[in-house]
Amino acid sequence: MSPAKTGTASAKGAPPERILVALDESEDSWRAVEYVAEGFGRSPGVRVTLLHILPDLPPEFWDTGHFLSRAERQSREQAVKEWETSQEKKWAALVKRARARLVRSGLRTAAVRRKFVPGVGDAAAEIVDEARKGRFSTIVIGRGGRRPGPSSLLGGNADRVVRLAWDRNVIVAGAAVRP
């Protein structure tokens, strides 16, 4: 079924559809944005949140194995803030592009939000946690790279989101899988 035929309108009095789109720089992630734009863009009451999980801190910010002096600690904190700011700027350009695409599809600007979450190691668990905390009914994620092995048709994060989000609708967008 094409994405255009899967859009849902909220029934009168029912809460609006809340969709969480996991967004990164991959082509499959952009396919998730396109899927939501085509499938839900003209549906009344739909609200979309674009979620980006910040990668783990680079090794140069990790514990050095000794107690930091006050000056070292302040220097490290400043370096981490600068790194996070650069990541947020990178994210801001991507979310601006995604938001523009969703608004062109018919969603109201106010119905498209963004959320930026520092990562702590397991992006799939972070995505599902955000979906539960935010009471999102649907998670849309790009397929990602396929792991080797006959049992996995999805990339690592998509596969884990599908397994962890047993209480949510999960849509995996991406290139067709060929046997």
Please list the pLDDT of the chain residue by residue as tens digits (179 residues).
444 434 444 444 445 689 999 998 888 899 999 999 999 999 889 999 999 887 777 777 666 677 878 898 888 888 888 888 888 787 888 889 999 999 999 999 999 999 888 777 788 999 999 999 999 999 999 987 444 444 444 557 888 899 999 999 999 987 655 54
- For residue 166, the domain's CATH number is 3.40.50.620
Structure tokens at 163: 């397994």
C-alpha span between 156 and 161 (Å, rounded): 9
Q: Identify the pLDDT of residue 93.
A: 86
Residue 7 lies in a domain: no
In sequence order, the β-bridge partners of residue 118 are: 54
Q: Token pair 């949140």 is at which residue? A: 49
Residue 97 lies in a domain: yes
C-alpha span between 61 and 55 (Å, rounded): 13
Helical H segments across 21-69, by residue range: 27-40
Q: Identify the pLDDT of residue 102.
A: 96
- Is residue 158 within a helix (H) or strand (E), and if so which, with residue range? helix 156-164
Q: Beta strands of 26-142 (E only): which ranges?
A: 47-54, 112-118, 138-142
Task: Quote the domain boundaries for residue 145.
Answer: 15-43+51-57+66-107+127-173
Residue 116 lies in a domain: no
Structure tokens at 117: 């979450």
Q: Identify the pLDDT of residue 176.
A: 58
C-alpha span between 22 and 25 (Å, rounded): 10
Structural domains in the chain (count)? 1
C-alpha span between 80 and 61 (Å, rounded): 7
Which residue in 24, 25, 22, 28 sits closest to 50, CA to CA?
A: 22
Q: Identify the pLDDT of residue 113.
A: 94
| Encoded amino acid at 127, one letter | I
Q: Identify the pLDDT of residue 58.
A: 73
Q: Identify the pLDDT of residue 174.
A: 78
Residue 3 lies in a domain: no
